[in-house]
Structure 1
Amino acid sequence: MQRSYFRQVAAGGAVAALTFAGVGALTAAPAYAATAEVSVVHGIPDTPVDVYVNGEKTLESFAPGDVAGPLSLAAGAYDIALTKPGEPVANAILTVDDAEVPGGTNISLAAHLDAGGQPKITPFVNDTSKVDAGKSRLIVRHTAAAPAVDVRAGGAPVFTELTNPNEAKADVDAGSISADVVLAGTETVAIGPADLDLGEGTATIVYATGSAEADNLDVVAQTITGLHSAPAGVPSGSGGLADTGASTWWYLLASAGALLLVGGGTRVATTRRNNR
């Protein structure tokens, strides 16, 4: 049972392989080719992995709570293999063949637990539209094995009845807030409080991860910069990820094409070998 569960968890983490292919494992695209900005978070507890892309090891001991990216990847298909740390690609516990990356999108791939505690992958297309001067975008995603929750800022509910794997968002005044997560309709704190710095012209995307039953709920936050409305503000950073003190994380699946990222090419390698 434990071995079977590990394989399921590996499936959940496999898409982490998809984009974090060291750039050396990928073929550079012509300047005119459509590209995607892709980030990956490993939100499944207790399952570190090595990741191979197109036969090359590109992530080593990729740990739960870690985030890789974003990378600008050419639209196309990629072969992925996931192994236990230190194992060769020939011993892959899971492979993903011809994983499609659609161009022209900003995507976060979340490997996480569903409401029932089973590992899964949810691709989220990130909202990178401009925000007004003095504003920041706050996005909260429920990606934990937990019931519906309310998200509070300064003790007041901001988003209510949020369920896995859904999200809620709002453009709010920039500044620092203290946020926590409570069971929906109650004062029972499930996560937090945590301090969030909502910078002007940024999107802060907060994920709830882990399992209520296993008592390992946590949050990770991803920050996307450069969303200022011209001419106000100057983008800070490089448009990548900024750790907010919990780990690092992320908008609801907005494009059917993103589903191709986790399409039908996935298989457990051990099953394939046993059928030979």
Structure 2
Amino acid sequence: MISRTPVAAAASLGLCALALGGAATATAAADDDQAMVSVFHAVPGLDVDVYANGDELIPDFKPGTLTDPQPLPAGSYDLKVFKAGADPKGKPAIQKTVEVPAGANATVVAHLNADGAPQLDAYVNDTSDVAAGKAWLTVRHVAAAPAVDVRAGGTPVFKDLVNPKEDTATVNAGTVSADVVLAGTDDVAIGPTDLNLKEGTATIVYAWGSAEDKNLALKVQTLTGMHSAPSGVNAGATNDPDAWPAYAAGFGLLGLAGALTARRAVSRDRA
């Protein structure tokens, strides 16, 4: 089993520019120069207002929100994030200018680190074809909690996962009962919950929240369209947790501002 963690990079995928596709002064590339980007706000108890290039994009953005993937144009964006209701003429809690290049499907997650401090990580989502009868399954630890095991039907399949790492596998399509336990124990921290792993999909499970505050929860993201013909079955695909292939290396700590800007920007981009 292989764990991965986002790799620090100044402009990695430019994913902080989530939802900034229509910002007034952004430098945008051609329509075909886009990335597909989702954002998950996983910081409990933190409502924020987000601005890009001086324009308010999302007022009162709530924790627990996961946006759908949206195409975003490449460009340069100045991001500012304020506590919800704060004067935007004041000093922002976070300010960052980011570049947005094209390509890839990714999710940016604003969450708590293992010590309970807010941070942001970006992850690439595997949208490559999966063998007939199979599905992608990814688990991401983005909670203020110690190392965990993720079990399917009571059997650990992702072991000793620490914040902010992830594990990915190809698995048989079907419904599985999953829960999260403290690593090496049977002490259930989250769940159980049923996961419907449909053929040709990628299911991404986020363990988020705070163990200390007793608000740990699961959030599920599902991406579709990864079907392949039976003739394309990969004989190496397996449900053996020790043989599951690595994919979707993370892309960098991009700053909280960008991760919290998806919703309003989508409507601006469509306007």
1:155 maps to a residue whose letter is: G
Kindly state the Cα deviation for residue 78 of structure 1 after the two structures are TM-superposed.
0.9
Query: 1:43-58 counterparts in 2 under 5 A?
Result: 43-58=42-57
Kindly state the Cα deviation for residue 196 of structure 1 after the two structures are TM-superposed.
1.2
2:226 maps to a residue whose letter is: L
Q: For each residue in 1:93-114, what CA deviation from the matched residue of structure 2 results, as whole angstroms up to 9, or x when unmatched?
A: 3343321223212121111111
Q: Distance in 1 between matches of 2:15 and 2:188?
A: 30
Q: Is the 8 A contact 2:16 2:255 kept in 1?
A: no
Q: Is the 8 A contact 1:21 1:53 kept in 2?
A: yes
Q: For each residue in 1:185-226, what CA deviation from the matched residue of structure 2 results, as whole angstroms up to 9, or x when unmatched?
A: 111000001111111111010011111111111111111111
Give the direction of change, closer, same or farther, for the CA distance of 1:176–1:23 in structure 2 (3 Å limit).
Answer: farther
Query: 1:181-260 counterparts in 2 under 5 A?
Result: 181-230=180-229, 254=249, 258-259=251-252
1:122 maps to a residue whose letter is: D
Q: Higher helix fraction: Structure 1 or Structure 2?
A: 1
Q: Distance in 2 between matches of 1:260 and 1:115?
A: 15
Q: Distance in 2 between matches of 1:18 and 1:29?
A: 13
Kindly state the Cα deviation for residue 53 of structure 1 after the two structures are TM-superposed.
1.8
Give the direction of change, closer, same or farther, for the CA distance of 1:182–1:42 in structure 2 (3 Å limit).
Answer: same
Kindly state the Cα deviation for residue 168 of structure 1 after the two structures are TM-superposed.
0.8
Q: For each residue in 1:29-50, what CA deviation from the matched residue of structure 2 results, as whole angstroms up to 9, or x when unmatched?
A: 4234x21111111111101112
1:124 maps to a residue whose letter is: Y
TM-score by length of 2: 0.76
Residues 1:163 and 2:162 are matched in the alignment: yes
2:111 maps to a residue whose letter is: H
Give the direction of change, closer, same or farther, for the CA distance of 1:89–1:68 in structure 2 (3 Å limit).
Answer: farther
Kindly state the Cα deviation for residue 24 of structure 1 after the two structures are TM-superposed.
5.9
Q: For each residue in 1:46-98, what CA deviation from the matched residue of structure 2 results, as whole angstroms up to 9, or x when unmatched?
A: 01112122222222211111122422112222111212334453235334332
The CA RMSD measured in Å over matched residues stands at 2.7
Tell me the equivalent position of 1:89: 88
Q: Distance in 2 between matches of 1:109 and 1:156?
A: 29
Tell me the equivalent position of 1:146: 145
1:170 maps to a residue whose letter is: A
Q: For each residue in 1:142-161, what CA deviation from the matched residue of structure 2 results, as whole angstroms up to 9, or x when unmatched?
A: 11111111101111111111
Q: Distance in 2 between matches of 1:157 and 1:181?
A: 9
Kindly state the Cα deviation for residue 253 of structure 1 after the two structures are TM-superposed.
6.4
Kindly state the Cα deviation for residue 261 of structure 1 after the two structures are TM-superposed.
3.9
Q: Is the 8 A contact 1:20 1:59 kept in 2?
A: no
Kindly state the Cα deviation for residue 231 of structure 1 after the two structures are TM-superposed.
7.4
Query: 1:31-50 counterparts in 2 under 5 A?
Result: 31-32=31-32, 34-50=33-49
Give the direction of change, closer, same or farther, for the CA distance of 1:155–1:207 in structure 2 (3 Å limit).
Answer: same
TM-score by length of 1: 0.75
Residues 1:67 and 2:60 are matched in the alignment: no
How many percent of aligned residue pairs carry the same amino acid? 52
Query: 1:107-126 counterparts in 2 under 5 A?
Result: 107-126=106-125
Secondary structure of 1:143's aligned partner: strand
Tell me the equivalent position of 1:30: 30
1:31 maps to a residue whose letter is: D
Q: Which has the higher contact order (CA 8 A, sep 6+)?
A: 2
Q: Distance in 2 between matches of 1:18 and 1:73?
A: 8
Kindly state the Cα deviation for residue 19 of structure 1 after the two structures are TM-superposed.
0.8
Tell me the equivalent position of 1:5: none
Q: Distance in 1 between matches of 2:112 and 2:96?
A: 23
1:254 maps to a residue whose letter is: A
2:142 maps to a residue whose letter is: T
1:55 maps to a residue whose letter is: G
Give the direction of change, closer, same or farther, for the CA distance of 1:252–1:90 in structure 2 (3 Å limit).
Answer: farther
Moved more, 181-190 or 71-80: 71-80
